């Protein structure tokens, strides 16, 4: 983040959350799709609170490296997306 390695590394669940969002290349990823990716298969068992807590912890870790930008954006009623302002040439 912000040109620095995250130390200590992200937990597997936080890493997978970041991975699924980044791979969507700015697109919105549905919460159900995120939960299946993180916790497995179509038969995943998790709660909204567990996903919310995971998102909150990842946001906190990212903010340690770049507190000026909200990378994980909630799209109300649709899901989440990763907003990498460094990918936008106007921010370089």
b/e 27-51 (16+ beta carbons within 10 angstroms → b) = ebbebeebbbbbbeeeeeebeeeeb
Domain residue limits at 39: 12-91
Establish if 17 belongs to a structural domain: yes
Domain count, the chain: 1
The CATH number linked to 40 is 1.10.10.10
Q: Which of 16, 51, 54, 12 is closest to 37 using CA atoms? A: 16
First to last CA, the chain: 15
- Does the structure show a pLDDT above 60 at 92? no
Q: What is the pLDDT of residues 16-44, one digit of tens each?
A: 999 999 999 999 999 989 998 998 865 55
């Amino acid at each position: 983040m912000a040109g620095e390695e995250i130390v200590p590394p992200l937990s597997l669940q936080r890493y997978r959350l970041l991975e699924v969002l980044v791979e969507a290349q700015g697109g919105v990823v549905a919460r159900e799709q995120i939960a299946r990716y993180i916790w497995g298969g179509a038969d995943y068992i998790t709660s909204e609170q567990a996903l919310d807590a995971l998102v909150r912890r990842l946001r906190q870790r990212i903010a340690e490296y770049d507190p000026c930008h909200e990378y994980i954006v909630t799209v109300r009623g649709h899901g989440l997306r990763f907003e990498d302002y460094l990918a936008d040439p106007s921010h370089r």
